[in-house]
A = this chain, B = another copy of it.
Amino acid sequence: MEYKNTQAIYLQIGDQIYENILNHRWREGDRIPSIRELAIETEVNPNTVMKTYNHLQGQGIIQNQRGIGYFISEGAYQKSLDIKKNDFIKDTLPELFKTLELLGLDFETLRQYYENYRSTQKRKVKEG
């Protein structure tokens, strides 16, 4: 696992958790890895994972049962979807469209990249 320099690592790990929720790998009520486990898995300091978990707990996405572990909260899926969709439409898209024009790329080109991406994904699934 590699991390970008442009964003805090604890947020990048948080995004992985959002992803796990949104693709239904982690479902509401599931117990998620302990701080230590996830720290080992992500090759990161436990303090960093702790920060991620605190952050997500503050957003009501996960919750802690003392002495037992962390769990995906009720309603976490919908909440994640709302947060991420809002970010996407408000921040990601306008920036995307501006970049498209700056680089002189049209929407048709984008569609081709998308087709390419999807066929690559399918192949991966078949092979994997």
A residues bordering B, Cβ < 8 Å?
3, 6-9, 11, 19, 22-23, 45, 58, 66-67, 81, 84-85, 88-89, 92-94, 96-99, 102-105, 107, 110-111, 113-114, 117-118
Closest partner residue, chain B, to A8 (CB atom):
B6
A7 partner residues in chain B, CB cutoff 8 A = 6-7
A88→B117 contact, CB < 8 A: no
Measured CA separation A58–B56 after assembly (Å): 13
Residues on the B chain within 8 Å of A110, using CB? 93
Find out whether the CB atom of B114 lies under 8 angstroms from the CB atom of A107.
yes
Q: Once the chains bind, are B93 and A117 in contact (CB under 8 Å)? A: yes
Known: A7-B6, A45-B67, A96-B92. A103 touches B85 (CB 8 A): yes
